[in-house]
Structure 1
Amino acid sequence: MPRTKAKRRVPVTAIKGRFAYKEAPVPLPPIHISGQEKVAIDTSALGSVALGKMGKTSADTRRRINHFHVLIKQYSKLEAKKRICDGGDSEHISAIDREIDRVSREMAEMGGLDWYQKASLLGQCKQRGGDTSRWLVPKLRELGVDKRQAGPRLRLLDVGALSCMNYAKERKWIDVTPIDLNSQEPGVHQQDFLDIVIGSESAQSKAGYNQQTDEELDDKVDLFNTPFDVVCLSLVVNFIGDPSRRGDMLKQAACVLANDGLLFLVLPLSCVCNSRYLDDDRLQQINQHLGFTELYKHHTAKLAHYLYRLDKGKYRDGTSNSKVTAKGSAPQFKKRLLFSEPGRNNFSIVV
């Protein structure tokens, strides 16, 4: 009896690696770029949305994350053009609006900020690069802050936190306040870093708090009532497309830190080693201008780690809110060409 040809089995990994398109049951949340208005995205016209596509490999996931960064930069540039043209040629403004809508829709089709954060959270696992807090904790121990005399625990503000468990093993001496624009966990507070004002009276007067319950308000006021001992900006400054807003992030760190407080900054290595406008020396000059002294620097194959100490007396922009500084003074460190070789990127920080 002749043998029938067996059907070829498709590997399970191949099935999991395919694009999983399905109808979006609810509209995607608006994309919120730090320091800018929320972008309302109408997803009703979209036939389907790619939800949860993390990538078959770490390289594929990284490629998609990088493309999302490109879209964020395009959006920021278009918003800047629109502000410049405000009150000008209506046809030109309409063309900019159409481009903004196109970029916003593409970000929505990728899954929006929610997808980006889930992909980045996946990148925290050991198989995909690890958690940058694992570099910071040994440095804090070297500085002896884990052996402080009896008193309150070290207050640490984790900006852009994807998980509230990053410092769980150090909870005996570190009091963590994790915040993010689009919280992925109940333990991560939904908060824009640039909106934080230290001091309960200022915090209560801020827009948005008036619609919260007294219990929720008291909780947030307690979180931001006193300066922090450590601020972590791990892979969040590079997420912002506007160089001036990146500078505002560093200014805001100086505003919310206590004197002698520590700033932990992590950037993709390409931002300081392959940029036309920024390198380690330029970054150090910017941070020295803001009152920071570099304590540690470490480069890996993909990331650049920095730990700085703040001297409030050297903070030359010393205001209580970085937004006031951004509007009230001219940049001290403008976008300046440092390297002209082909193949470099355009990452920069303006302060």
Structure 2
Amino acid sequence: MAEAAICAEMEALGGLEKYQQASLQGQREDRGGDSSRVLMDWLEAEKLSTSIGGEDGRLRMLEVGALSTDNACSKSGLFDITRIDLNSQGGGILQQDFMERPLPRDNSEKFDIISLSLVLNYVPDPRGRGDMLRRTIEFLHGTRAYQSTPVSDMFPCVFLVLPAPCVTNSRYLDEERLVSIMASLGYTPKFSKTTQRLVYYLWKSGTKPKRPQEFSKKEIRSGPTRNNFAIVLKKQG
């Protein structure tokens, strides 16, 4: 997408400064804290303090757009975390584009959970956002890996965080449409939370969709104060 179009979309979400603040506040202490605390609250509510196993007895997490190695997930001891970001800000974070990351060769390279905390909103075009959500499936274990384990009701899953206006004030996306898009990819909502600035979701993978669906950029709410955030999902093949 051209630079002008990217800037226009950011302005539609309240301007570049507000756009960046809404994104960064989920990770930085001075902007409200660490978004992964919400995830940990949900897991603790499910009494998940142990994992399904693995080399070190921890669940494997892929954290896309990682800003820190000191967040709540890192401190929990529950996860073995692989952290990537387009512009790594420090040690322990691999500089890598998720869309260019090599696909897993076998189960040893797959994950139990993928964190997309304030990542999807930085993808500059609606089709790219849909492609990113679809690509998460390739990196997650299948549901058979969790049979007869204490985490079978939760994993595999995706933790998704977005600036609230992307869902609450968009012309092209609301929660109902987001649920439909995710359902078409085999995801069901497990938990959700909405605050003034952010929306949080935990999506469990494993529900096989009845048939492929396509979601275009279709206006579902009108009004001059709406923003243009959208997710477009094309049928594969």
Common fold by TM > 0.5: yes
Do the aligned partners of 1:72 and 1:239 also contact (CA within 8 Å) in 2? no
**For 2:38, what is the secondary structure of its paired residue?**
helix
Higher RCO (CA 8 Å, separation ≥ 6 residues) = 2
Q: 1:158 to 1:131 in 2, by over 3 A?
A: same
**CA displacement at 1:278 relative to structure 2:** 0.3
**CA displacement at 1:122 relative to structure 2:** 7.5
| Equivalent position to 1:141, from 20, 44, 51 | 44
Once the two structures are superposed, residues 49-90 of structure 1 have per-residue CA deviations (whole angstroms, 9 ceiling, x without a partner) of: xxxxxxxxxxxxxxxxxx99943859xxxxxxxxxxxxxxxx
Do the aligned partners of 1:160 and 1:233 also contact (CA within 8 Å) in 2? yes
Letter in 2 for 1:310: S
Paired with 1:72 and 1:159, the residues of 2 have a C-alpha distance of 25
Q: Does the alignment pair 1:182 with 2:118?
A: no
Mapping for residues 163-312 of structure 1, pairs under 5 Å = 163-166=68-71, 167-171=73-77, 173-200=78-105, 225-260=108-143, 261-311=156-206
Once the two structures are superposed, residues 189-224 of structure 1 have per-residue CA deviations (whole angstroms, 9 ceiling, x without a partner) of: 1111112233349xxxxxxxxxxxxxxxxxxxxxx9
1:153 alignment partner in structure 2: 58
**CA displacement at 1:297 relative to structure 2:** 1.0
**For 2:141, what is the secondary structure of its paired residue?**
strand
**CA displacement at 1:254 relative to structure 2:** 1.5
Q: Does the alignment pair 1:130 with 2:28?
A: no
**For 2:63, what is the secondary structure of its paired residue?**
strand
Letter in 2 for 1:169: K
Paired with 1:228 and 1:165, the residues of 2 have a C-alpha distance of 20
Do the aligned partners of 1:277 and 1:338 also contact (CA within 8 Å) in 2? yes
Q: 1:271 to 1:300 in 2, by over 3 A?
A: same
Letter in 1 for 2:134: K
Once the two structures are superposed, residues 84-139 of structure 1 have per-residue CA deviations (whole angstroms, 9 ceiling, x without a partner) of: xxxxxxxxxxxxxxxxxxxxxxx9xx9xxxxx999966873333121100100121
Paired with 1:340 and 1:161, the residues of 2 have a C-alpha distance of 34
Identity of aligned residues (%): 42
Do the aligned partners of 1:198 and 1:225 also contact (CA within 8 Å) in 2? no
**For 2:204, what is the secondary structure of its paired residue?**
strand
1:350 alignment partner in structure 2: 232
Once the two structures are superposed, residues 19-77 of structure 1 have per-residue CA deviations (whole angstroms, 9 ceiling, x without a partner) of: xxxxxxxxxxxxxxxxx9xx9xxxxxxxxxxxxxxxxxxxxxxxxxxx99943859xxx
Do the aligned partners of 1:277 and 1:339 also contact (CA within 8 Å) in 2? yes
Paired with 2:37 and 2:162, the residues of 1 have a C-alpha distance of 15
Paired with 2:37 and 2:139, the residues of 1 have a C-alpha distance of 23
Letter in 2 for 1:124: Q
Q: 1:72 to 1:229 in 2, by over 3 A?
A: farther
Do the aligned partners of 2:191 and 2:203 also contact (CA within 8 Å) in 1? yes
Please state which structure has a larger fraction of its residues in helix. 1
Structure 1: give runs of 5+ residues left out of the alignment. 1-35, 40-66, 75-106, 111-115, 202-223, 318-330
**For 1:253, what is the secondary structure of its paired residue?**
helix
Q: 1:238 to 1:122 in 2, by over 3 A?
A: closer
TM-score calculated relative to the size of structure 2: 0.78
Paired with 1:259 and 1:269, the residues of 2 have a C-alpha distance of 30
Which structure: larger Rg? 1
Paired with 1:198 and 1:275, the residues of 2 have a C-alpha distance of 32
Q: 1:315 to 1:235 in 2, by over 3 A?
A: farther
1:79 alignment partner in structure 2: none
**CA displacement at 1:241 relative to structure 2:** 1.5
Do the aligned partners of 2:61 and 2:112 also contact (CA within 8 Å) in 1? yes
